[in-house]
Amino acid sequence: MALSARALDLDAAASFLWDLLRQRPVQAVLASCAGLIGLTVLTAGWLTQTDRLSRGYAPVQPIPFSHRDHAGAMAMSCLYCHSGAARSRAAGIPGEAVCMGCHSVTKTESPSIKTLKEAFDSATPIPWKAVHSLPGHVFFDHRPHVNAGVACQTCHGPVQEMTVVSQRMSMRMSHCLGCHRDPKSALPQGSAIAKAPENCNACHR
Ligand code: HEC
Ligand code: HEC
Ligand code: HEC
Ligand code: HEC
Ligand code: HEC
């Protein structure tokens, strides 16, 4: 008795649902829900691609150091502060001593220059946040690029116009290989280099 009553309830519920599903407005709502879910999945997928995430990455730095002022308006050479780029794997971030060459007398009343001086006096480096970083399994070296005459801006974009550095290049293997296969447009005219290495262990050692 109890069993058949429940079966009846289920039947009634099923036919109620069926009637509901056959109504146009309900179908429209369901269709747009499905559409919305699909769109969310696609958007999330697109936005979480490693490339999309890392390109444009521009962390706020502990001191508002501006490349536009120093490398743009004052036209300081990139290598004055990043001398490592021509002679070691890493370009390097300059130590406070390089800054104090000017800032022991320039803008000394500015709060950020006071922070800079404290860092210098106490020998506690400013904790600059890294903008670019390749996965650990990739080997990159600035030297062959800089010494072949590839401009910093070819990879890093117009840094001399940036108040806050942001990552402009793709850090994808396909981007590295694209240039390695055909580096001509990135090299100075008359360069003897026709190709850069494409063998796996050039970049995975
Ligand atoms: C006065 C010194 C100075 C000069 C000149 C300078 N930089 Fe920098 N650079 C810094 C400092 C300090 C940082 C770290 C803070 C920041 O990211 O803004 C930095 C950060 C960077 C970064 C981001 C590093 C990372 O974490 O990935 C790039 C790329 C860069 N510089 C490229 C350049 C290029 C290209 C030029 C020339 C157009 C240049 N810099 C000139 C001092 C300098
Ligand atoms: C060749 C001299 C020189 C060097 C080297 C130099 N600066 Fe400067 N910096 C200046 C001058 C000049 C200004 C003022 C620019 C302006 O106001 O237009 C300035 C402005 C600044 C300001 C803005 C200060 C404010 O409150 O307006 C910061 C922050 C700064 N520098 C940080 C640094 C750091 C960090 C380094 C080292 C990585 C550095 N500077 C190296 C000359 C220099
Ligand atoms: C062929 C492309 C390319 C060129 C040219 C290039 N860079 Fe880089 N740079 C990179 C890549 C890739 C990284 C990230 C390296 C890593 O994460 O190991 C990087 C990282 C950096 C960093 C932060 C890490 C470090 O090495 O200290 C600075 C600063 C920098 N570059 C400055 C420069 C300057 C200045 C020049 C020109 C003199 C230059 N780069 C030329 C691709 C390039
Ligand atoms: C804009 C062009 C360009 C881009 C982008 C570029 N490279 Fe290169 N790469 C070169 C050139 C040019 C050389 C030098 C070839 C030579 O000297 O014969 C080189 C040389 C190298 C070398 C030295 C290989 C050897 O055995 O001598 C390594 C390692 C390397 N690149 C890694 C990378 C990685 C990793 C990336 C991506 C993050 C990258 N490169 C992006 C142009 C580029
Ligand atoms: C010019 C430099 C370069 C060369 C040459 C190169 N790679 Fe890569 N590779 C990279 C970079 C940069 C990454 C990290 C970014 C990425 O995953 O796209 C990478 C990532 C990878 C990954 C990890 C992919 C992932 O999704 O995590 C594999 C696997 C790989 N490479 C295999 C190879 C093989 C096999 C070769 C030889 C046919 C090769 N690579 C040659 C630069 C290079």
Label each residue of 90-108 as H, E or C: CCCCCCHHHHHHHHCCCCC
Decide: 142 and 205 in contact? Cβ < 8 Å: no
What is the pLDDT at residue 23? 82
What is the pLDDT at residue 21? 76
Query: Ligand 3, closest atom to CA 85?
Result: 38
Query: Ligand 2, closest atom to CA 80?
Result: 5
What is the pLDDT at residue 171? 92
Kindly indicate the confidence band of residue 1, based on its pLDDT and cuts at 50, 70 and 90.
very low
Residue to substitute in 60, 61, 74, 81 for testing ligand 1 pocket (most ligand atoms within 8 angstroms of CB) = 81
> Which residue is it, tokens 């919305």?
36
Q: Is the CB of 97 under 6 A from ligand 2?
A: no
> pLDDT higher for 9 or 2?
9
**Residue 7: pLDDT above 70?**
no
What is the pLDDT at residue 17? 72
Q: Is the CB of 79 under 6 A from ligand 1?
A: no
Q: How far is the CA of 192 from the centre of ligand 3 (A)?
A: 23
Q: Is the CB of 193 under 6 A from ligand 4?
A: yes
What is the pLDDT at residue 9? 73
- Residue ranges per structural domain of the chain: 2-48, 54-93+128-203
State the Cα–Cα distance between residues 175 and 172, nearest whole angstrom. Answer: 5
What is the pLDDT at residue 65? 98
Full-model pTM: 0.88
Q: How far is the CA of 123 from the centre of ligand 2 (A)?
A: 19
How much is the average pLDDT of 175-183? 97
What is the pLDDT at residue 135? 93
Q: What is the mean pLDDT of the chain?
A: 89
State the Cα–Cα distance between residues 67 and 74, nearest whole angstrom. Answer: 9
How much is the average pLDDT of 77-104? 97
- Would you state the structure tokens that stand for residue 43, as one six-digit string? 């958007």
**Residue 80: pLDDT above 90?**
yes
Q: How far is the CA of 100 from the centre of ligand 3 (A)?
A: 24
> pLDDT higher for 197 or 45?
197
